[in-house]
Amino acid sequence: IKARAVSLLCDDMPVIADDSGLCIDALDGAPGLYSARFAGEEATDEDRNKKILKLMENEENRHAYYIASVAFIFPDGREITAEGKVEGEIMTKEEGTGGFGYDPLFYCTEIGKSFGVATPEEKNAVSHRGRALKNLCEILKKEMEE
Q: Say what the pLDDT of residue 46 is.
A: 92
Give catalytic status of residue 103 as yes or no.
no
Q: Which of 34, 21, 86, 90 is nearest to 58 (CA)?
A: 90
* pLDDT tens sequence across 78-105: 999 999 999 999 999 999 988 889 999 9
What is the pTM assigned to this prediction?
A: 0.91
* pLDDT tens sequence across 42-83: 999 999 999 999 999 999 999 999 999 999 999 999 999 999
3-state helix, strand, coil in the chain (%, to 5): 35, 25, 35
Maximal C-alpha separation, the chain: 53
Q: Say what the pLDDT of residue 144 is.
A: 82
Task: Check the CA dihedral 59-85-23-97 and report its sign.
Answer: positive
**How far is the C-alpha of 114 from the C-alpha of 63, rounded, in Å?**
13
Task: Check the CA dihedral 76-77-80-81 and report its sign.
Answer: positive
Q: Say what the pLDDT of residue 146 is.
A: 75
Sequence-ordered list of residues with C-beta below 8 angstroms from that of 88, at least 6 positions apart, any chain = 63, 64, 65, 66, 106, 107, 108, 109, 110
Question: Torsion-angle region of residue 50: left (phi > 0), alpha (psi -120 to 50) or beta?
Answer: alpha
Among the listed residues 18, 19, 25, 47, the single catalytic one is: 19
Q: Could you give the 3-state DSSP secondary structure of residue 122?
A: helix
> Given a cut of 90, is residue 33 above it in pLDDT?
no
